[in-house]
Structure 1
Amino acid sequence: MHRRWILSALAILLSLVLASCANAPTQQSQTKVSANTEAPNSNSQQSAKRVVTLSSLSTDIIYQLDKSKLVGITGSTLFNNDSRFQNIPRVSEGQSPPNLEKIVALKPDLVIGAEGFSNQAIQRLQQLGIANFLTQVKNWESLEELTKKLAQLIGADPQPLLNRYQTFLPDKSTQSLSTLVLVSRQPILAPNKNSWAGDVLTKFQAKNLAAELQGNSPIGGYVTLSAEKVLEANPEVIIVVNPPQGGSETAVLASFKKEAFWQKLQATQNNRVYTFDYYGLVNPGSIDAIEKACQQLKKNLLAVEST
């Protein structure tokens, strides 16, 4: 059992590293186009007609904007059982690098990658003269900006999707409840304000106890906490994140329950501990994953407010 949790923690750390590469804070809050190849845009009255996506989020956004433009996608567990994507060719699987031969064979006029993860493939595609676009999504505003930019590149209307995003958010203010999100046990990791999870908590007016913390964690937007620090914080609400490769909700909670501090926290004593999927809260993943995470936050935080 101990070895299993070490492996789970390592998997979470690897996924967070990849997510932090794609969501790492930069001096610009906007998404950006690769410098070496100009992507088609509406200003030149030319829009992309054959798009390959190298991240699950950009895949979902393009599909929602205009599915006829999507000719190749990255493999993702989020889409394994999704009938919408069954007949679209995969150019990568899991954490393996994109297959350049497959991409070129699809004759795309635009390839969309993730900053920090797809850079090497994008650089090669630039050399081949294929237009490309690198994305960064580190907060809600950058999600909206990405949607607008992708809509511009393919000649689509972003407003229906932007309107849908707004339905994910609460329509009334919630109390400022002290909240701690725990994404792994060994080490104990929590998102600060410079992460997607931290920004989503802000949208729900939850008081993220790790928001202002900084540490030596190699993962941008996350801090390592000691058991003493968690006990000192003593949150009203705890959100435990299931590992990205999946896992039993009971097993995840059972792992934390082994900690001596666990039963001393007011969140556990008041039965205010909730489990969330990795995709949606820690890594945006897809539009549906974001919506599900927001629905859970509405249910859990608003339910706490009413008690």
Structure 2
Amino acid sequence: MRRSVSPPSSAFWPLSLVPLGLGAFLLVLAPLLAWYVEPRAKRTPIDTDVTTVFTGPGSYFDTGDVKEVRDQRLTITRRVLGDVHDSDRTGRAVWDVSTTVDTPRTLRLRDPRRAFQWKTERWVTDRRTNEPVHCCGESPGPFQGDAYLKFPFDVKKQTYRWWDSTLGDTVPLRFAGTAKIQGYEGYRFTGTVRPTRTGTRQVPGRLVGRGKQGQVQAEEWYANTGIELVADRRTGRIIYAGISPKVTLRAPGGHRDRVTLLRGEGLAFTEATQRGQVKLARDDNRRLKLVGETAPLAAGIAGAVLTVAGAVLVVRGRRRVE
């Protein structure tokens, strides 16, 4: 009786190509994620909706009582709302910004139209470089600089030009080391604004020492004795901000302040705002790290293992077939 011998199975051969092909795919995907996808993920968001609040001691000029009110708690509230319709998913980011300055009296009203000061702006920037883009009804315009409501991605230890809307010009902010905000480390930048004339305002002459004159065009002066910003290194998101603005009036051609319209002494992000900004920075970092580091590393290791395993299986498969 003759014994039958089964021919070697050919099914093993194509199956052994699966890990080899998958490994090769992952080896190609790893650098693609790190060098192509991750840089394109570094884009300023267009659907942002963030509110930040500054508080601190200060003083202001009460037009009703016609006098300076001191030792008050001032509140600055800024809401940034992205205009998705006018933004470009690959090019520009359009943000509408509403900023109110409130005294204890106006804060209770919860109405920006009745705030001590209310200003609206429209910022347009390049989503990749954070440079200004002059289009889409920007206001103020044209503004300049490197840093506005955020710093560029991959913040460096250098001096940045920060746009100050009250000044209407850029302010150099110098790198001043690192700082931890709510346990999260960022780069710290500081700067000041020397007293600078920013415009004129018609007021009764007696307010600025010109009692014999009815109305005069008083000079408006602005200074900021302490600007401090802490930015997340990877995303440029500002996780802490502190300012000490001072707006005064001088007589036409005068050399000293006569009226203090507004003075803030160390106005800074509230604890809640700091926690919110740090959370956003952590989330942004986690996503960028996943795309730029974790996923490429995992893909590279898995790809190498699968490629080696697949090659071994292919060689063994060939020997079995032969």
Query: Which TM-score band applies after superposition, normalised by the shorter structure?
Result: under 0.3
Q: Return the index of the structure with the highest Cα Rg.
A: 2
TM-score (norm 1): 0.26
Q: Higher strand proportion, which one?
A: 2
